[in-house]
Structure 1
Amino acid sequence: MPDHLPEYYFRVRENGAAVFRLDTENRQSRIEMDQIAVANVKNGEIKANGDRTLSDQDIETIQNWISERRALLAQRSIDDIRRLVDQLNLTAQWAQSKATDAELVELNDDLLFAMHDLRSVLVRKKADRIQKARGS
């Protein structure tokens, strides 16, 4: 455990985090976690817990966490897409070399519809970028 504790702890939730202030300044020298707020990563909203008033430092720390969390989630999203490209390649190899007729019958439509949907979105987005670049 580090020599000193951070002042805040963020318990990650689906859309953000519950924010706690950490305290060891008590008679038992135990770590106490006092929930001070809830932070929403999607809309940037910070709600104080109960009738609590957040300090400027609380708000700044939470806003910094939201910003860092958004960057992390964006990076993870890109990493997921890169892994998906690998999976698509591995799936093509599997379909060509290892898949049985029964497996292909079972998965064929799901794969084709998902790839058709993805291709349609990508082609449309690319066409939009080309149009925008031409100034139309």
Structure 2
Amino acid sequence: MAGELPEYYFRVRENGAAVFRVDTENRQRRIEMDQIAVVNIRNGEIKPQGNRQLSENDLGVIRDWMSERKALLATRDMDDIHRAIDHLNLTTQWAQSRATTAQLEDVTDDLLLAMHDLRSVLVRKKADRLMKEDT
């Protein structure tokens, strides 16, 4: 393997990661990964594995990763929303110019309900923001 391996490896899971310490300084010169913790980025919980005590360095690296991961996920969320706007526009163009009657029949009710639900949430949230600005 070219280059230096990191000291820690984070196996991403749905709400966080399993944290491993990477070791290449063994007799067989193999890569060994020892799981040291499980982290939950939603609630900030860091659970050491087994009877392990995490060092301040371990905790610092884990907290830094959690912070970077939260920022990455927030960026991805906004990118997904902007893509959804593009998809809505493309769907509108498709419905207007290329969709067959059968295709429209297949998707119209689902699209209308989803758009109605989205519109209701957006209008309510906008009204809440405007009310806060007035107070």
Tell me, yes or no, whether TM beats 0.5. yes
What is the aligned partner in structure 2 of residue 79 from structure 1?
79
Q: What's the C-alpha RMSD, in Å, of the aligned pairs? A: 0.8
Mapping of residues 40-119 of structure 1, within 5 Å: 40-119=40-119
Q: Mark the runs of 5 or more structure 1 residues left unpaired by the alignment.
A: none
What is the aligned partner in structure 2 of residue 8 from structure 1?
8
Question: What amino acid maps onto 1:31 in structure 2?
Answer: I
Evaluate the alpha carbon distance shift between residue 44 and residue 2 of structure 1 in structure 2; reply closer, same or farther with a 3 A threshold: farther
What is the aligned partner in structure 2 of residue 35 from structure 1?
35
Deviation at 1:30, TM superposition (A): 1.0
Distance (Å, rounded) in 1 between the aligned partners of 2:49 and 2:26: 22
Distance (Å, rounded) in 1 between the aligned partners of 2:97 and 2:127: 34
Secondary structure at the counterpart of residue 43 of structure 2: coil
What is the aligned partner in structure 1 of residue 127 from structure 2?
127
Secondary structure at the counterpart of residue 37 of structure 1: strand
Question: What amino acid maps onto 2:25 in structure 1?
Answer: E
Residue identity over aligned pairs, in percent, reads 69
Deviation at 1:2, TM superposition (A): 4.5
Secondary structure at the counterpart of residue 99 of structure 1: coil
Distance (Å, rounded) in 2 between the aligned partners of 1:13 and 1:121: 29
Cα deviation 1:25-47 (Å, max 9, x = unaligned): 11111111000000111111000
Q: Mark the runs of 5 or more structure 2 residues left unpaired by the alignment.
A: none
Secondary structure at the counterpart of residue 27 of structure 2: coil
Cα deviation 1:35-86 (Å, max 9, x = unaligned): 0000111111000001111001101110111111011001000000000000
Aligned residues: 135
Mapping of residues 13-28 of structure 1, within 5 Å: 13-28=13-28
Distance (Å, rounded) in 1 between the aligned partners of 2:104 and 2:4: 57
